Chains A and B, each alone.
Chain A
Amino acid sequence: MSDRDDLKAFFSRHVEENMDALYGVAYRLTRNAADAEDLLGEAVARAWAAIGSLADRDRFRPWLFRILRNCFISDYRRQSVRPIEQSLDDVMFTENGEQDLAAWLCDQPDEFLNWWAEPEREFYNDALGDRIMAAIDALPEVFQTTVLLVNVDGLSYDEAAEALGVPPGTIRSRMKRGRTLLQKALWAQAVDAGLAVCIRTGPDDE
């Protein structure tokens, strides 16, 4: 087998192994199946053309995710009606944003925690699943992509950093911010849906 054949077999195998995850990211970015398929095809073609730049084969996955995202940014983002960067909550861009976030979480009423801890919450699990995905969809893209890469596709923080072209510390920060925004959105949805009215105190308060 020639070097090229060996390389192509490696490439094909790893694209195949990551196809669902890549398609999932492409779909989340483009928000429709046809564009996701086109984006994925473009990314794979570009990846093969640039395969010589892959210094470490063990880093294939983050390398390919990064090409996919770069394809989206260069070819699709301009067409997207969704702004890639959205204005964030006031707690997000302060000079001491990290501490502000932790403070925001600490300040959340135990009502929220108790609502989640309620056994009856199981009753709402199906509806909750839809709400979580709606909340994920509503996240600013930069946080949404990070949360999905880590929590859905299972990339490590290092891999996600490589895929997104940012330092690992930024991934940690984005995870915290993204998940905080997610909690805020879910709580707001719970209140809007009237579910929060069902709250009773937890076992420690009985």
Chain B
Amino acid sequence: MNDDHVYDSDIGCMEAINSLYAYLDGELGDDVSIEQVETHLQHCRSCYTRAEIERALNEHLRRGAKRAAPAGARDRLRRLIDDL
């Protein structure tokens, strides 16, 4: 188990993890600042590694989950729109 590491002007692991996904998605709100999350990640190896995992997962998702519409489907949709 990871200790809830807290440093000067730092948030704890729980708070960092709670904000991690919004931070990585560029959606962090006002409750926890980007600086607070980044400070924690600089000091906490576990949370830093977790953030790296999530970044890698994001990259896999971006590359692996995209599915191009087949040419037939595109043509059908274009014809449908033309006929609207």
Seen from chain A, the residues whose Cβ lies within 8 Å of a Cβ on chain B are 8, 11-12, 15-16, 19-20, 22-24, 27-28, 33, 36-37, 40-41, 44-45, 48, 98-99, 101-103, 105-110, 113-114, 116-117, 128-129, 132-133, 136, 147-148, 150-152, 156-157, 172, 175-176, 179, 182-183, 202, 204
- Nearest neighbor of A21 in chain B, beta-carbon distance: B66
Contact call B27/A172, Cβ cutoff below 8 A: yes
Interface residue B77 (Cβ < 8 Å from any Cβ of A): yes
User: By DSSP majority rule, is chain A's interface helix, strand, loop, or mixed?
Assistant: helix
Contact residues in B for A101 (Cβ distance below 8 Å): 18
Residue of B53, B54, B65, B70 ringed by the most chain A CB atoms within 10 A: B65
Judge whether B18 and A40 touch: CB under 8 Å: no
Q: How far is the CA of A12 from the CA of B21 in the complex (A)?
A: 34
Residue from A23, A44, A179 within 8 A of B67 (CB atoms): A23
Question: Which chain B residues lie closer than 8 Å to A105 at the CB level?
Answer: 17, 50
Contact B49 A136 (CB under 8 A): no
Which residues on A sit within 8 Å (CB–CB) of B68? 20, 23
Chain B contact residue count (CB 8 A cutoff):
43
8 A Cβ contacts from B55-75 to A:
56-58, 60-70, 72-74
Q: A40-B73, A102-B13, A151-B61 are in contact. List 11 more A-B contacts (CB 8 A).
A: A8-B81, A37-B70, A37-B72, A40-B77, A102-B14, A102-B18, A106-B17, A113-B50, A132-B64, A151-B65, A172-B29
Query: In the bound complex, how far is the Cα of B68 from the Cα of A152, in angstroms?
Result: 12
Q: A106-B1, A179-B21 are in contact. Are A133 and B27 (CB under 8 A)?
A: no
Given contacts A150-B25, A151-B61, contact A20 B69 (CB under 8 A): yes
